[in-house]
Amino acid sequence: MPATDPVNSASEMAPPNVMVIFGGTGDLTRRKLFPALHHLWKEKLGPERFAVVGVGREALTEAAYRDMLDAAVREYYGEGFDETVWGEMLRSVYYIPGAFADPELYARLDRLLQRITGESQIAPNYFFYLATPPNFFAEIAAQLGRAGLLNESGDHWRRVVVEKPFGRDLRSALELNRQLHQVLRERQIYRIDHYLGKETVQNILAFRFANSTIEPIWNRRYIDHVQITVAESLGVERRGGYYDQAGALRDMIPNHLLALLAVVAMEPPTSFGAEAIRDEQTKVLRAIQPIGHDEVLAATVRGQYGAGTLPGGVRVPAYRSEAKVAPDSKTETYAAMRLMIDTWRWAGVPFYLRTGKRLPGRFTEIVIQYQHAPNFMFRDSLLKRENVPANSLVLRIQPDEGIGLNFNAKVPGPTAHLGTVDMDFRYDEHFSAAPTTGYETLLYDCMTGDATLFKRADNIEAAWALMDPVLDVWSALPARDFPNYLAGSWGPEAAEQLLARDGRSWRPCGFCHKASP
């Protein structure tokens, strides 16, 4: 029988508050935020008294805004849409048009918030979600501060949620943190990474620290190496203008992939409090060996996709032919690197990271590759006299969240031959509640004041400090071989060589599942 969902059954309804979304008509708001809010209310985790104010540059009426959201949520929510819950939510949605740099917009917002909290008897707890391009983050925060909308009094709180990217290098990340700290305390800032809201990422902590069979072998004595892969089959879609200025490294590694690495590699925290967990994650990032400028070309790989064919026979154009991309672009759509962590637990264990667009499938997974078992007693059991196959533990983040483990067993029969057996745990088969997108958890945590899954300033800065030398060298020495991998392939040949030089190889796509297109 499916297990019950212990998290939701023990969770309490969030306190009354008002959510203000800057970028209220944007893609993130329509595809992720409002479907996530609907899910929270359906699960009876959203506040009893609540309102949402969308703030955008489009001159829409409130009725037109609600119609737009209604169409979007019905399209993107998927199975389980609740007409009654959504209808009640939609009546508590408001909209204000205006320019983000206009002080009058914030004066009108202040008046609207006072009216909403007065008429609906909602406590004046506000959180402001910056679902905008990053160039607006500091401006919006400064305007909110000048309008007095970030001032806290009594038990009433004010919080600001900042979407990625948190800067584009160390200098800009430091500057953004400085600007935010001019009007906000660090505890009021929630830097969001939706990967950290996914069930499997959160379950890594429980899996490691709540199982006596796992934690004792989670170290250099038993683990040979770790692979972290974030693969995407999509190209840049409508983001060509942004992506051609960012690239795969800036877009994915300082936030998503290093966040996954920190969860895998962190030491046991003294408690499950937000600061204790974030302290340990930041320690991991600071313990990663810096990649010197003279080491960048050997420790990293970059690639750009050319025209090719995706699974299913779909032909797709080269990156340089995408809309709003320079025809001679040197921007990478693939990045891989080898990192070493200077701690007692991980000394000598390489962490291989890779991410790319237009790969054969969409999946995110972490592979814990254990060392080979001693071979001597199995010499006559192995057909080719090779090493006993090493065990692998695979933590699947998406699309089908779960955990896989393979181990060796004797093949039935009169001769002693070894075979590999796969064990597979899937969330949707073992728990009554299906995994969510991650935004549900993070929005709920922001409402309840739990910052555990959000990035702290020092964490962001440590990640960018690691990436700066790579960005410097890649900028100074533009790639000469772009495009260097076909769309629909697993990336450039140099990425295979990155591991082959260490006598290792990337694990084939997925574990006990097909990577989804």
Same domain, 233 and 311: yes
Picking from 163, 185, 204, the residue at the C-terminal end of a domain is: 163
Report the alpha-carbon distance of residue 63 to residue 249 in Å, rounded: 41
Residue 302 lies in a domain: yes
Q: What angle do CA 297, 331, 495 make, to 5 degrees?
A: 40
CATH number where 96 lies: 3.40.50.720
Same domain, 144 and 210: no
Same domain, 344 and 267: yes
Residue 43 lies in a domain: yes
Enumerate the active-site residues.
Answer: 256
- Taking only the tens place, the pLDDT of each residue in 267-277 is 999 888 889 99
**pTM of the complete model:** 0.90
Same domain, 123 and 238: no
Same domain, 261 and 327: yes
The more confident residue out of 169 and 374 is 169
Residue 281 lies in a domain: yes
Q: Is 95 exposed, middle or buried (0-12, 13-18, 19+ CB in 10 A)?
A: buried
Confidence of residue 32 (pLDDT cuts 50, 70, 90): very high
Across the range 5-25, mean pLDDT stands at 78
pLDDT given for residue 511 in this prediction: 42
Confidence of residue 4 (pLDDT cuts 50, 70, 90): very low
Residue 159 lies in a domain: yes
Side chain identity at 21, as an amino acid letter? I
Report the alpha-carbon distance of residue 329 to residue 94 in Å, rounded: 42
Residue 180 lies in a domain: no
Report the alpha-carbon distance of residue 324 to residue 67 in Å, rounded: 30
Q: Which residues contact 501 (CB under 8 A, 6 or more apart)?
A: none
Same domain, 335 and 472: yes
Cα(first)–Cα(last) distance of the chain, in Å?
31
Same domain, 114 and 203: no
Same domain, 153 and 29: yes
Report the alpha-carbon distance of residue 510 to residue 363 in Å, rounded: 7
Confidence of residue 456 (pLDDT cuts 50, 70, 90): very high
Q: Which residues contact 1 (CB under 8 A, 6 or more apart)?
A: none
Residue 505 lies in a domain: no
What's the chain's Rg over C-alpha atoms?
Answer: 24
Same domain, 271 and 389: yes
Residue 398: φ, ψ to 5°: -160, 155
Residue 510 lies in a domain: no
Domain that holds residue 480: 196-500
Residue 507 lies in a domain: no
Confidence of residue 8 (pLDDT cuts 50, 70, 90): very low
Same domain, 122 and 256: no
Same domain, 48 and 108: yes
Tally of structural domains, the chain: 2
CATH number where 454 lies: 3.30.360.10
Helix/strand/coil (H, E, C) string of 400-466?
Answer: CCEEEEEEEEECCCCCCCEEEEEEEEEHHHHECCCCCCCHHHHHHHHHHCCCCCCECHHHHHHHHHH
Closest CA to 330 of 480, 489, 165, 471: 480
Same domain, 202 and 337: yes
Instruction: Give how far Cα 420 sits from Cα of 1, 226, 382, 388, 405, Å.
Output: 28, 20, 12, 10, 10
The more confident residue out of 381 and 489 is 489
Query: Across the chain, which distance is largest between two alpha carbons, in Å?
Result: 83
